[in-house]
Chains A and B, each alone.
Chain A
Amino acid sequence: MAHLHDEKIEFLEETANQIRQDIIEMLYEAKSGHSAGPLGMADVFTAFYFHILNHDPKNPGWPDRDRLVLSNGHICPVLYAAMARAGYFPVEELKTLRKLGSRLQGHPHRPWLPGLETSSGPLGSGLSQAAGMAYAALMDKKKYNIYCLMSDAEQQTGNIWEAAMWAGKHKLNNLTAVMDRNNIQIDGFTEDIMPLEPLREKYEAFNWHVIDVDGHNFEEIVGAVEEAKAIYEKPVLILAHTIPGKGIDFMEFDYRWHGIPPGIGDVKDSPPKAEQVKVALAQLRTLGGKIKSEHQ
């Protein structure tokens, strides 16, 4: 496991917390969009945009940058919030999510927003694109890395396995996929809808190296990416076990919060809709009640 200084971990945790607040505010403002996935992946995105990626937010087209390809485009609120906080565009612009004329489309539209590596939304094709980028980089002997962030439910598409087979064939060692293993999808739990397990064995059978991590532990996330860089003969899958809705009690582990924003409708066992945003933000600002306020 990578060793991160306490100050670094604290910085990453605070940043992830800020990004979760951004997500809640963006979704409430947009009045539609996905909640659970973006919240669950806030730590992974923070680790990438604030520690792992070799990138320059002021020069998003830098040819030698690491590429982060988001395959499951519906969790883009976390991508946008991480990009804004990293300096790609003004934080105020987050409130334009899903609005007419916004660069922050409901699912990412690359040509409109510098820093996006692709357009995505229809599930299952990000890994192919990332594999294509990795192949081109190897052809041209480039040193940058390609990271594909994808969901667990999109493992139900055929395109993913076409990509996995092809990446394994070509030993794309500059390609690392990170799967958000949160176990939920729109219609329920993945293992009820269409069982995915055993994921590790499946990817290993496709000639990938697989690493399991706690998707909320920065040292584990960073450590897995370091390990991935040291694997020369295979592409690497990091199975990031995450809690959907992480950080907000009434959303955690509840697939009903997969595809809806807070503050729009009443959900059984959750606070009434008028209270949801307030409760969620209060919980984030007090780190789940550990402190009285963000100023403490």
Chain B
Amino acid sequence: MTATALSIRDLRFAYPGATWSLAVPRFEIAPGEQVLLVGGSGRGKSTLLQVVAGLRDATGTVEVAGHRIDQLRGAARDEARGRSIGMIFQTFNLLHGFTALENVLAGLMFSAMVPKEHEARARGLLETLGIPDPEAEVDRLSVGQQQRVAVARALAARPALVLADEPTASLDPENTATAMDLIQSACRADGAALLCTSHDPTLRARFARVESIDPFVAGGAA
């Protein structure tokens, strides 16, 4: 096991023409640790997650489970992301027209897991997360079930780090609690570190470590 699930050093990122930028001198998450990153809307929380996932280029060092994401390019970076990082989105971003099982299998397509283990892993996760019919198309599932499928997909490849981008932004308080219970317990059960962004202050109590994005934002409001 590597010493950190995520290690950021001297990261700088700015959108072309933007009046603000991200500057993260040092940021680390230990394996299995759960961190809540808070801040107002548009402050750069999602951008930071995208940089960590290698979806945007920045200067500095980004290391996920021993992979230097910042140094990898092209297919190698995509492969590292597929193997080390799971992502959960506010709108789930499931593959429409595919079943719940297939969505989780999609999370395993680019993983290091041997293909013969894919189905057992996917079915196991769906069962654990309470999806009664893995063969149901995701469009026929309830919102809560769709979120469970999204969590299962993010954890399928046994990533070292799960990035959850505003996973409860569109949920009411009751469902927010349920969703966060699910995400946190699933990550804990799988040993994955969690970096969750949210502008919802009620989530602070759920995390032992809460960080604000504000110290990392330079310049005007985003």
Indicate, yes or no, whether A interacts with B. no
Taking Cβ atoms with an 8 Å cutoff, the residues of B that contact A are: none
